[in-house]
Amino acid sequence: MEEMKRAAVIGLGSMGWGAAISLLKAGFTVRGCDLRGDVLQKFAEAGGEACTTPAAAVGDVDVVLVYVINSSQVEDVVFGANGALETAKRSTVFLLCATMAPSATTAIAERLEAAGMLVIDAPVSGGHVRALAGEITVMASGSQEAFDRAAPTLDAISSKVFRLGDRPGAGSQVKMINQLLAGVHIAATAEAMTLAAKAGIDLKTVYDVIRVSAGSSWMFENRGEHIVSGDYSPRSAVNIFVKDLGIVTSEAEKAGALTPLAASALALFTEASKAGLGGEDDAAVAKILASKSGATLPGMEE
């Protein structure tokens, strides 16, 4: 299986970078592709091979990890000019790691499979720190052959792979439900901290009590700390949730499901993005709520 130790990572953002580094640590030869020259240089210094186009990165690798942001970017880097399909050999395994609408994932997977490729729908969860440690969670679906061939890659980047079926699309569906909850929980954390601030309650006390009480969530524990310390340097960005909750509400509308809380949360993230906070940590949605409520949270201008 020597040949399976060659991988290409398209998109060296927060999560893609972590995956690429984890693959290097696991002994893979890794080609990385990104639009940003400084990132490519850093990647070369870290022991990777820097490529400026997907076509140049894919060539003779056996696994391609697609870590760009959304379905339109996936289409570009796979099917566009200088895209991965120009050079990929037959039966290359494509891991589609972006969070996409399940319908978009299915359409992209069908085009790839029609071109002779193997596909795993593989959206990830866990954040930058766990990505760097090779410990992300993957919500994965695809054929047995694709999983067999991608096993060393999945072992290198992930501590937990959920097998959600043999067709691409199922992974994206479960990830969509996860993002509904994650986005609502971040907005709820913002709302709770804003009310606490307006009511004159010490935010650190609220955080310490609730993180171990029935009101807690993974996001409250994680993002609540960002709000209490006023630290909005981006771990994940406001704009990610504008995209992901947009997927949730549009897929829900297609399916006929009511999602009033996701819609409320999306409105807040959208407002935060329009206010220029799109590149800040997603917890910055709290600044919008606080500002509209006349409250000042840590890290906000008086």
Binding footprint of a second copy on the chain (CB under 8 A): 102, 125-127, 137, 139, 160, 162, 164, 170, 173-174, 176-182, 184-185, 187-189, 191-192, 194-199, 201, 205-206, 208-210, 212-220, 222, 248, 251-252, 255-262, 264-265, 267-268, 289, 292-295
Q: Which two tokens stand for residue 141?
A: 């679906």
Q: Which residue type occupies 297?
A: L
Active site residue: 25, 42, 89, 175, which one? 175
Min dist. Cβ of residue 176 to a second copy (A): 8
Looking at beta carbons only, is 74 or 180 nearer to a second copy?
Answer: 180
| Minimum gap (Å) between residue 205 Cβ and a second copy | 6
- For residue 33, give Cα distances in angstroms to 71, 153, 179, 237: 17, 17, 27, 21
Distance in angstroms (rounded) separating the CA atoms of residues 160 and 5? 20
Task: Tell me whether residue 20 is exposed, middle or buried, using C-beta atoms within 10 angstroms of its C-beta: 0 to 12, 13 to 18, 19 or more.
Answer: buried
| Residue 259: DSSP 8-state | -
* DSSP letters spanning 230-269: T----SSBHHHHHHHHHHHHHHHHHHT---HHHHHHHHHH
Structure tokens that stand for 292 in this block: 């509209």
Helix, strand or coil, per DSSP, at residue 232: coil
Residues paired with residue 124 on neighbouring β-strands, in sequence order: 138
* Shorter beta-carbon distance to a second copy: residue 114 or 212: 212
Whether 274 is catalytic is no
Which of 189, 266, 193, 273 has its CA nearest to residue 234?
273
Rg (CA), the chain: 20
Comparison of 51 and 176: residue with beta carbon closer to a second copy? 176
Tell me whether residue 64 or residue 196 sits nearer to a second copy (CB atom). 196
Amino acid at 181: L
Residue 217 to residues 11, 210, 241: CA-CA distances in angstroms?
Answer: 30, 9, 17
Q: How far is the CB of 53 from a second copy (least distance, A)?
A: 32
Identify which of residues 84 and 295 has a Cβ nearer to a second copy in the complex.
295
Q: Closest CB to a second copy among 112 and 170?
A: 170
How many residues does this entry show for the chain?
302
Can you tell me which residue has the tokens 């052959």?
Answer: 145
CB neighbours (10 Å) of residue 128? Answer: 16
Q: Which residues are catalytic?
A: 175
